[in-house]
Structures are given as structure tokens and as C-alpha cells.
Structure 1
């Protein structure tokens, strides 16, 4: 039996889904697929596996089969399952949510800054998912994590990143969306303010990403591809301010900290990204007046200047192409305006001296 494993990651710090695949051995006797899978997964109940099969999280040779399907030699099985889904108890909390769109299958939320997406070490309450659980329970008091694992969360963004997230409201929708993220067919565009004057108007960054070999909470780029996971980011310059640049990034893969790591890799660390050194002057002088201006910008946007602006996916029920766009939040908008004004004032001053 050949086995493979891969993981869906978003521009965050924690994996949500893992993909396990098997090829059935030649000598395998016919066996119900739910029983066969249960024998290969630790702490997985038959009932839970059957629900996953019904929801479409398990495919055989690319097709969805029922729990009573009997595996045959040569069959290729692919299973999507939550990683460490049971390690924290999820407490529903009445937290205001900015719901951009909602129907019976999905909901799209515009996440504010400084909100963790789901509970984890050090953040057991006050997360977006605590609010989602409460929201869904108001609609259906009988819903549980057994019915809808992690209350439909299929991807995430960092605590300090703002912008759009899609969540499933049924297990069928969760399976459909999870596959779209895994197959990289979801359209995602981010807007970021980065240090320095980006040389090319547009470009592609192709470098593997893995944990930093010295600082385990950080990630690093490995352009030779000898370490980590394949990652591709397309970028396009939106506006230049000499010292910083406003760029649009399109993710073709979804690795942890991908935009932050890739932009730093090409010499353009995200503005005020303290984890990767963007919270200090990386372009310009160290003179008092300029330093004070930059410090004021940091105060105006006290986080990594990254926003998940657009999100596109196929609706899991109607199969319609859905597309959503979120305007830049006030903190990034105000900092961009500050840089725009600073560069204009400096240009006017230089022209006045000529």
C-alpha cells in the first residue's frame, strides 16, 4: 500500500486540512471502504468516517462512493481531513461579525485586524470561529462539530491580516470548498504595502517555503527547491512612493506566511511586519524628521500592512462562480495617504529649489 500526505495551508500559521492518499495493494481482499479507512486512522470512529464519506471528503479513483463500496486492488483513495481538529474546545461567543454574504451553504466574512481566526494555544476565546459557532447555533440549535467540523472553516488568514474568508455551513459544502483550496482553483488577491521601490511593474516569485531553520515561529524561502513546499506568488505594482510600494499579490499556492516570506525574499519586506523585520526603517534616511514620519505611520497602522481584498470560488451547490471584493481598511488607507502626501510634499520642495 502506497501512502502520501500533503497539507492545505493559508497565509497563516496553522494547517487546517491534510490530504491522505493510498493505492490499494494487489493482494487486498474486497473490504468495505469505511472499515478499510478506519483501520488506518488512529482514533477515528466508524460513524465519523461514514459521515466524511457521505460529505464527499473521500474519493475513489476521483469519484465519490458510498460507505459500502468495497475497495479493490489498484484503487486510488484520497481523503481530506482536519488536522488536530479536536485539540481545543470551541465555545460559542456572541461576537459581532462582518458578514458580506450568506446563504444556506456558505458565508463570506470580512475579518478585522487583531482577530485570531480559530482557537489555539494562547487564544482560546474571542476568535472569529467562536463568533461563527454562535452565529450558526442561532440558525440551527442542533448543529454540532460532529456534524460540521470546525463549523465550516476551510482556510484562514493571520491575526493581523484583514479581509475575506469563506466558511461552509454544511459538511457537503465544506468538502467542496476544501477541494477547491487544495486544487488551487480559488481566486485570491491581496494588497500589501512593502518597503522599497519594487523594480519590476509585475513579476512572479517561485520559491519553496518551509520553517526557518533557526527561528521556528518564522518561515523562509528556499529558491533552489531543496527544502519546503512549492510556492508561487504573482505580484503587480499598484502605486509607488519611492520608499514604499503598494502591490497586489495573487496566490497560486497557499503556504504559511507566503506573501510575507516571498516579498521579503525579493527584498521588499511588508511594512510594519515585526516578525520579518518590517517594523523598522528599511528604505530612506535615519534623520529625525523622516524617522518621526515613519513612526507615525507605524502608529497609524500598528500591524503588518496586508489585506485579503478579493475572493472567488465555485458555489458548492449552485456551481455558480462567486466573487467578492473588500475595500482597503482605514488603517492601511490612511498610511497610504500619508506616504502619498509625504512624497508629493518632498517633490514640491525639490522643484521649489530648482
Structure 2
């Protein structure tokens, strides 16, 4: 028998199905797992067993039997290619390929970025600042199908310093995103709290709730593209994160009714025609700028990354429909950017500092 735990539902959960609330509250790994626990009599509400569709009330006192914790994952090194742009004794800057999950979990125990880092550095030469052996080196994450620049740390001191810099919004993180629809203003800010969805624990959503966390994204329009039959036109934007919530840009742009092109999860407001996804098998989102103060030397380092082939091909296909570039295009892609990107890679290959 597992541990018995309990809670009283917060107001946002009132009126929701019991199995959905249990999953959203993190009591079980999924809604189906929560439903099974209710059906097996492992959950009581105010001392009584109820149906999984029971509508949770403000006065309910929910007691549930927690699943047995799985044995800790032992992470082994795997020879997964890493596109390293900079490396020294404290820090690694790399460009993560789409499809590479950052760290192991129950549904993907291996083949992750952490496995690649362990193979490259050795487990003893990676930070462990998150207190979990399956997250060695990790100080922040990118979604599995988001590509581009990210940081990893080799020492706990470097990892803690970088995580603190991220919390203090001292790390410059900018993303290129192609969204559905033509955005009118050249700039915008989305300041909307993000929380887990009550209906699907894998999704996030904008909502006001005690458990929701402050989330701020700003964007600048770089180029707009005319609409054609089957789509609403497109807008290429440069997004900047001021917080780092799971799926933040994807959730915020869906919230504005301009979801990311190719996104399989956050689709509200996206055209139904398959061709509107421009042939992409993942969201058009790429971490193209990363800037931070080196935790040991204090030197400010900045890196730039070009679009990968799949995203560049989709963007090139829209060229005949361009409505023109905004002034922010030249500011974002300043002369010499491509040269600087290439030189960053050269320095990294030589093992020096950019």
C-alpha cells in the first residue's frame, strides 16, 4: 500500500471532474491513472468513495493513495552528437537539435541531452544543482521539438550562478517563431500567468489560479506574409523570455490567437487546412540568441544560431508572399551576424572563449 496523502481543492478546481483534478494536482501521472485509482477505491472524498466523474466541491476533503515511487533512473552516457558552440571548464553552450529531449523521464528513459552530456563530459564533471541524478548539467530546458541554443554547466558553482542569473532575468534568451495570422503592431507583450491544464496534465494554459505562475513574453515583428486560400497569412517574430515556464511561448502565442506554425499541441486559432502547417512536423520555434555573463570570468558572452534546414525551408517558401520586413529585421540580423555565428563555432571547436 502506498502513502496516504490529502488536500482540499483550490477554487479553480471546483466543479471539475475528480480524475481531472487529481491529475492536474500531480497526484497521478495522467488522468487515466487517476481514473484507475478512483475505480480501485484508492481515493476517497470526505470519507466516501465516489465516481471518477464526481464534481469536486469547495468542502471536499480528498484523500488518495500515492503510487509507489519508481526507482531512481541511472543515467548512462550515450554517443549522441552534440553541436557545441563553446566549452570550458565551467560552461557549455550548444545548439540542441529538434527531437532531442533534455532529460530522462518515465516515457523516454534514454536518448536524451543528459545522456549525451554524460558521454561527453562524464557524470562527475557535470553540475547537479537540481538534486536529481537524471538532470546532470541542466540549468534550463528547451521543449523536445524546439531547436537552438541552450546552456549546460559542468560545476555546481557555475550551475547555481547561471540559474540565479536566469531567475534575475540577466540571461538574454531570444527565439525566432513563425505564427499563424498577420500581427498588426510591430511589438507586443504577453503578461499572462501560466498553469497546468485541468483537462490534460501535459498541456499548459493561461488562467488565473493560486498555482499559476507569472509569465512574461515580449515580441517584435520581423516580417509579415500575405494570406492565401487555406491559411490566414503568417508573421515571423523575435520573442524574448522574461520568465521560463514550460511551453511559455507556445502557450502565450496561442492565447493571442496566433499559434505557432506546425505546433501539434497548441492549435487554437490555427487554420484547419493541413497545408497551413507548411509541411512542418514540429513547431516553428528556434532559440537563436543566447547572452550571459560567464560565472567564473564575468565576461559577457553572446551567441547566435541560424535556422535549421526544416524551418528555413518553410520560411523560404513564403518569400513570394512577403509584405515587407520591419525595421527590426536589420536590428535583429545585423550585418556580420552570420560571420559572428561562424566565428563562435570556430572558437568553440578550438576550445577557447568567444
TM range (shorter): 0.5 to 0.7
Alignment of 1:156-195 (within 5 A): 156-195=141-180
The equivalent position to 2:298 in structure 1, one of 319, 325, 330, is 319
User: Following the alignment from structure 1 to structure 2, what is the Cα–Cα distance between the partners of residues 207 and 279?
Assistant: 18
Q: Let me know the Cα RMSD of the aligned residues.
A: 2.6
Q: Map Cα deviations across residues 201-241 of structure 1 (whole Å, 9 max, x no partner).
A: 1011110011112222111113x676611111100111101
User: Following the alignment from structure 1 to structure 2, what is the Cα–Cα distance between the partners of residues 144 and 211?
Assistant: 30
Contact kept in structure 2, 1:208 and 1:230, CA below 8 Å: yes
Residue 105 (structure 1) aligns with:
90
User: Following the alignment from structure 2 to structure 1, what is the Cα–Cα distance between the partners of residues 126 and 187?
Assistant: 46
Give the structure-1-normalised TM-score. 0.64
Residue 286 (structure 2) aligns with:
307
Contact kept in structure 1, 2:148 and 2:286, CA below 8 Å: yes
Contact kept in structure 1, 2:128 and 2:137, CA below 8 Å: no
| Secondary structure class of the residue paired with 1:275 | coil
Alignment of 1:251-262 (within 5 A): 251-262=241-252
Residue 219 (structure 2) aligns with:
235
Q: Which has the higher strand share?
A: 1
How far residue 196 of structure 1 moved from its aligned partner, in angstroms, is: 0.3
Unaligned runs of 5+ in 2: 1-68, 227-232, 324-354
| Secondary structure class of the residue paired with 2:104 | coil
How far residue 158 of structure 1 moved from its aligned partner, in angstroms, is: 0.5
| Secondary structure class of the residue paired with 2:82 | coil
User: Following the alignment from structure 1 to structure 2, what is the Cα–Cα distance between the partners of residues 87 and 158?
Assistant: 23
Residue 339 (structure 1) aligns with:
318
- Asked if 1:118 corresponds to 2:103, the answer is yes
User: Following the alignment from structure 2 to structure 1, what is the Cα–Cα distance between the partners of residues 72 and 124?
Assistant: 22
Deviates more, 1:212-221 or 1:246-255: 212-221
Give the structure-2-normalised TM-score. 0.64
User: Following the alignment from structure 1 to structure 2, what is the Cα–Cα distance between the partners of residues 234 and 294?
Assistant: 25
Residue 250 (structure 1) aligns with:
240
User: Following the alignment from structure 2 to structure 1, what is the Cα–Cα distance between the partners of residues 202 and 125?
Assistant: 35
The equivalent position to 1:154 in structure 2, one of 133, 139, 161, is 139
How far residue 142 of structure 1 moved from its aligned partner, in angstroms, is: 5.4
Unaligned runs of 5+ in 1: 1-83, 345-354
Contact kept in structure 2, 1:271 and 1:278, CA below 8 Å: no
Describe the shift of the 1:115–1:318 C-alpha distance in structure 2 as closer, same or farther (beyond 3 A).
same
Aligned length, in residue pairs: 246
User: Following the alignment from structure 2 to structure 1, what is the Cα–Cα distance between the partners of residues 287 and 136?
Assistant: 21
User: Following the alignment from structure 2 to structure 1, what is the Cα–Cα distance between the partners of residues 216 and 97?
Assistant: 26
The equivalent position to 1:130 in structure 2, one of 111, 115, 124, is 115
Deviates more, 1:117-126 or 1:146-155: 146-155
Describe the shift of the 1:316–1:172 C-alpha distance in structure 2 as closer, same or farther (beyond 3 A).
same
User: Following the alignment from structure 2 to structure 1, what is the Cα–Cα distance between the partners of residues 125 and 218?
Assistant: 40
Residue 42 (structure 2) aligns with:
none
